[in-house]
Amino acid sequence: MTVTKTLIGKSKRLSEKWSTATVARIGLVRNTFKMSWRPTYRSSKFRNVYGKVANREHCFEGIAITKNVHDNHFCAVNGKFLAIVTESAGGGSFVVIPVTQFGRIESHYPKVCGHQGNVLDIKWNPFHDNIIASCSEDSSVRIWDIPDGGLRRNLTEALLELYGHSRRVGLIEWHPTTSGILFSAGYDYKILIWNLEIGEPVKMIDCHTDVILCMSFNTEGSLLATSCKDKKLRIIEPRSGKVLQEANFKNHKVNRVVFLGNMKRLLTTGVSRWNTRQIALWDQEDLSMPIIEEEIDGLSGLLFPFYDADTHMLYLAGKGDGNIRYYEITLEKPYLQYLMEFRSPAPQKGLGVMPKHGLDVGACEVFRFYKLVTLKGLIEPISMIVPRRSETYQEDIYPMTPGTEPALSADEWLSGINRGPILMSLKEGYNRPNKMVFKAPVKEKKSVVVNGIDLLENVPPRTENELLRMFFRQQDELRKLKDELTQKDIKIRQLELELNNIRNSPNNNNNSNDSSI
Asked if 65 contacts 375 with a C-beta cutoff of 8 angstroms, the reply is: no
- If you write DSSP's letter for every residue of 73-114 in order, what string do you get? --EEE-SSEEEEEE--SSS-EEEEEETT--EEPPTT---B--
The listed range with the strongest mean pLDDT (4-13, 305-314, 419-428, 454-463) is 305-314
Of the pLDDT bands very low, low, confident and very high (cuts 50, 70, 90), residue 473 is: low
Is the pLDDT assigned to residue 501 strictly greater than 80?
Answer: yes
Q: Which amino acid is at 177?
A: T
- CA-to-CA distance for 266 and 232, rounded, in angstroms? 14
Provide the 3-class DSSP secondary structure of residue 189: coil
- CA-to-CA distance for 328 and 344, rounded, in angstroms? 21
- CA-CA distances (angstroms) from residue 406 to 70, 184, 403? 31, 20, 8
Per cent of the chain over pLDDT 70 is 80
pLDDT at position 425 is: 92
Is the pLDDT assigned to residue 15 strictly greater than 60?
Answer: no
- CA-to-CA distance for 175 and 9, rounded, in angstroms? 88
Summarised one tens digit per residue, pLDDT across range 380-397 is 999 999 998 877 888 889
User: What does the domain layout of the chain look like in residue ranges?
Assistant: 50-414, 445-489
Phi/psi of residue 392, nearest 5 degrees: -90, 170
- CA-to-CA distance for 207 and 224, rounded, in angstroms? 13
Half-sphere exposure of 164 (CA within 13 A, CB side): 25
Summarised one tens digit per residue, pLDDT across range 20-53 is 444 344 343 333 333 333 334 456 788 889 999 9
- CA-to-CA distance for 346 and 455, rounded, in angstroms? 38
Q: Residue 33: in which H helix or E strand, if any?
A: helix 2-36
Asked if 299 contacts 277 with a C-beta cutoff of 8 angstroms, the reply is: yes
Is the pLDDT assigned to residue 111 strictly greater than 50?
Answer: yes
Q: Averaged over 221-239, what is the pLDDT?
A: 95
Q: Averaged over 110-131, what is the pLDDT?
A: 94
Q: According to CATH, what is the number of the domain 50-414?
A: 2.130.10.10
Q: Averaged over 154-165, what is the pLDDT?
A: 93
How long, in residues, is the chain? Answer: 517
Find, among 245, 238, 196, 248, the residue nearest to 215 by Cα: 238
Q: Averaged over 105-126, what is the pLDDT?
A: 93
pLDDT at position 461 is: 46
Of the pLDDT bands very low, low, confident and very high (cuts 50, 70, 90), residue 479 is: confident
**What average pLDDT is seen over the chain?**
82
- CA-to-CA distance for 394 and 309, rounded, in angstroms? 17
Is the pLDDT assigned to residue 213 strictly greater than 70?
Answer: yes
Q: Which amino acid is at 113?
A: C
- CA-to-CA distance for 117 and 135, rounded, in angstroms? 9
- CA-to-CA distance for 94 and 323, rounded, in angstroms? 26
Burial of 115 (0-12, 13-18, 19+ CB in 10 A): buried
E-assigned strands of 309-407?
313-318, 324-329, 336-342, 351-353, 365-373, 378-385, 401-402
- CA-to-CA distance for 215 and 258, rounded, in angstroms? 8
- CA-to-CA distance for 367 and 384, rounded, in angstroms? 5
Q: Averaged over 227-244, what is the pLDDT?
A: 94
CB atoms within 10 A of CB 41: 7
The listed range with the strongest mean pLDDT (39-48, 94-103, 292-301) is 94-103
